[in-house]
Chains A and B, each alone.
Chain A
Amino acid sequence: MKHPFPFSAIVGQDEMKQAMILTAIDPSIGGVLVFGERGTGKSTAVRALAGLLPPIRVVKDCPVHCARPEDCPDWAVLDDISTHDIPTPVVDLPLGASEDRVTGALDIEKALSKGEKAFQPGLFAQANRGYLYIDEVNLLEDHIVDLLLDVAQSGENVVEREGLSIRHPARFVLVGSGNPEEGELRPQLLDRFGLSVDVTSPTDIEERVQVIKRRDAYENDHSAFMLRWQAEDAALRDRIVTARQTLADLKTPDAALRVVAELCINLGSDGLRGELTLLKAARAYAAFRDDTVLTRMHIRATAALALLHRLRRDPLDEAGSGARVERIVQETLDA
């Protein structure tokens, strides 16, 4: 298996990259939804993200990657409770996945061959403390979406079936990508994503040529290409780690809070979730830039990412909310 395409080598698509970096700095922002046409590098970016994330420290035998032995779920069989570092898990949720596979279910092998009642963890367990990636998220079967909605909100996976009563932590950053032409996303699921990005194919010829060239180099001259870009990825990873530390000391003046609230009211976004996400995203952005105080500039830069998909949308409206957000952001921040 080849290394995935390096994150820093992705040409353009700055908004998408930005959004992903912000969730890496503060996972509680709650994930990214990337919507756009085919062949714009959506899945390339998500796969590249895995190489960018700092490792996490986990208990060796813990099926849900807990940091400390006392956090591990009681049903897990722990033979080895020493800790070690693993890469941040980025788990794929395939479209055709069965409910059992996603939530985990009775371990059929053990049940039938040994007569034991044991739990086989599913994708939610694997994705704990990491990322859960759904390609073509708008084509996901409704019953899987239902499972996802609940878990993404509560951070806990509850399995009550076939005589099992199991719960375990399932906190993950949800990353979805899809092509809006193929179907819409249920508004409830839309809500679960912290940030959303619309990607379009670059229209600049130079940029497009650059994409083709880099792809060609990645395939033909793999090791040299990786050597060149992995260094940049490492630098970016260091920035993310530093930003995580800066984030704790970042000052949030009341004036900034007021601007955020005002912005959300003016836009008429549903609920307080938008406000909270915008605040977190803006703070993460400030930390990434190594600033010490949250200012209007940070809010302006992240407003569209955090709010675009939260506006009460007429289902027949031609998705023209981008311009509206831009206008209101302009008005509110310049007031």
Chain B
Amino acid sequence: MTPWERATLALKLLSIDPQRLGGMVVRARVGPARDALLGTMDAIEMPCVRLHPHMGTQVLDGEVDLSATLSGGTLVRQRGLLDRPPSLFILPMAERAEPALSARLGQALDAGHSHALLALDEGSEEGETVPLALQDRTAFHVALDGIAMSDLAPIDLPQDTVALRRLARAVHVPDDILEDMVMLANAVGITSLRAPGFTLNAAQCHAALHGRDVVEQSDVSAAVALIYAHRATKLPDQPEDQTQPPEKPPDAPDDPAQTAQPNDILLDAITAALPPDALVDLSTRGPRRATGSGSGARRTGNRRGRPLPARQGPNANAARVDLIATLRAAIPWQTLRKRADPARNGPIFRQSDLRKKRYDALSDRLLIFTVDASGSAAMSRLAEAKGAVELMLAQAYARRDHVALVSYRGNAAEVLLSPTRSLVQTKRRLAAIPGGGATPLASGLAAAMDLAQTAAQKGLTPTVILLADGRANIARDGSADRALAHADATKLATKIAAARCDALVIDTTNRPEKTLRQLAQHMAAKYIPLPRADAKRVSGAISASLAE
């Protein structure tokens, strides 16, 4: 099945029963493929409502229409979007959705199964994806990137979806097929029970689409390929990845889920649907970034922080109204307005009087640990560096900082952990850093800088902490050329300085290394040489210099 056929099939099934299937995540940049897919959405028999990722939840739930209330003198309520009759919500730029919005949408999808969601994910980076709360509640996930114009075939959605839906819901599912579905979900490491539920419904829709009233193997294969492929966290014959979150009790080997063999045909269906690099992805897929409070905090919000002077605002509905400032603005006009409208009691307000409160909140800090795991470091100081990072983590916990982890060795750098507040995850990742190989310092810096920039866009304040041991000897293109490697590292260091990103270089060589001091200067970073230090000293040095 080509990606386009996959997308087409998902859309067909969704059009039959959007309410049971919850919706679809479409990962694609704006382009003809996405347009072609969205162009057919009209055929779905539900009103479409476009949302925006930065919409406040009050738009979803409804609120007092302040300006109408004021000018009319009676309470006017706006109806929330979620109160509408069952609709298909289209969420563009879904990867930017705020946690509050995604949580509220998720609740709405759960309750009563009346709404459906089409999330358009335009993320370009690995970590930039639709919030997991939404991914879990929508059945399908299709990626359209890399589809050529010539691949696009017209989509003909089924005509009579209402009748098909009725048929689909009555389709019988034999018990053994149901068991296969559930077993397979277990075998590929899907813990959420929503996935098998979706598969059941999708298989029913698929059967109805082909005029059957009992679910067959082919229906399940199609459904499984669409629903399990992107959720799988392991392949069944792989040992459980030690970094995967679910903690199986030690007595797990006896449970039937582990010993029972899932149906091979279904397994083939899902393996075929996995993208070619999925395995690489599976083994390196970190826990997705945490979306705790504050990670997206704008610097000048209107919810919390140090109060700033009130402002006249067009969008006063979303903010808190500063009553005193509003009154102050309205009072000078009262005599004039009373004259124009003598019958009204009390002060007369106009929309232009509204002042909204503003607050200046400090954004959260993100510490990006960039750890040298090369052979030289592995020999001497890797354990110390790990220890130092652990101590720092304990402090980061107290300060509620976010942390990210990058390690570099061999000929590339690796983001071991995207920004998160989950310390357990961080610690596990940290302990699992393997050592050995050359020192691709430039790649490490590049990875750290990418992280820093993404984080800064989300409103975090990133700090790059480089724990280096020795000079760079692998260039960014992977060649073992010391001069080029040095030039690359210097170039990136200047870039980091230009991006005004805070940085700290900790030299863990046995004797302070001159090139690292120069590198720190290029980065506009503080340089801390730590010959023969222990973890406590490294950590102490970092906190001392951060406190400055």
- Using a CB–CB cutoff of 8 Å, the interface residues on chain A facing chain B are 1-2, 37-41, 43, 47, 92, 94-100, 106, 108-109, 111-115, 135-136, 138-143, 145, 162, 180-184, 200-206, 208-209, 211-213, 215-216, 219-220, 315-316, 318-319
Contacts and interface: CB of A to CB of B under 8 A. Distances in A.
B193 to A, nearest CB: 5
Interface string B336-357: 0000000001110100000000
A41 B260 contact: no
Given A106-B323, A209-B182, A183 B290 contact: yes
A142 B345 CA distance: 41
Given A39-B192, A219-B20, A205 B183 contact: yes
Across the A-B interface, the 7 shortest Cβ-Cβ residue pairs: A39-B192, A96-B100, A96-B57, A183-B292, A201-B191, A115-B346, A39-B194
Contacts of B98: 96
A278 to B, nearest CB: 24
A209 B303 contact: no
Contacts, number: 189
A97 B320 CA distance: 12
B260 A205 contact: yes
B380 interface: no
B200 A184 contact: no
Contacts of A206: 256
Nearest to A44: B110
Nearest to A186: B400
B237 interface: no
Q: Helix, strand, loop or mixed for chain B's interface?
A: helix
A180 B422 CA distance: 8
30 contacts: A38-B132, A39-B192, A39-B193, A39-B195, A40-B193, A47-B111, A92-B107, A96-B58, A111-B323, A113-B73, A113-B75, A136-B103, A139-B100, A139-B292, A140-B293, A141-B303, A142-B304, A180-B422, A181-B422, A183-B291, A183-B420, A183-B422, A184-B421, A184-B423, A201-B192, A201-B246, A205-B182, A211-B193, A215-B197, A318-B428
Contacts of A183: 290-292, 420-422
A96 B304 contact: no
B119 to A, nearest CB: 16
B425 interface: yes
Contact of B69 (A43, A109, A181): A109
B262 to A, nearest CB: 10
Contacts of A145: 293
Contacts of A97: 57
Contact of A143 (B107, B112, B303): B303
Contacts of B169: 220
B299 to A, nearest CB: 16
Contact of A181 (B56, B196, B287): B287
Interface stretch (B268-276, B390-398, B494-502): B390-398
Contacts of A38: 132-133, 136, 191-192, 194
Contact of B179 (A96, A143, A209): A209
B182 A208 contact: yes
A208 B99 CA distance: 29
A43 B108 CA distance: 12
Given A2-B112, A94-B61, A219-B113, A204 B256 contact: yes
Contact of A205 (B64, B247, B256): B256
B313 interface: no
Interface in B158-199: 169-170, 173, 175, 178-179, 181-183, 185-186, 191-197
Interface string B90-108: 0000000011110110010
Interface string B47-83: 0000000001110010010100110011100000000
B69 A112 contact: yes
Contacts of A106: 323
A94 B60 CA distance: 11
B424 interface: yes
A324 B341 CA distance: 74
A176 B108 CA distance: 18
A315 B421 CA distance: 11
Contacts of A209: 175, 178-179, 182
B248 interface: yes
B374 to A, nearest CB: 25
Contact of A113 (B111, B346, B421): B346
B394 A316 contact: yes
Most buried by B among A97, A182, A184, A319: A182
Contacts of B196: 208, 212
A39 B136 contact: yes
Contact of A201 (B20, B193, B424): B193
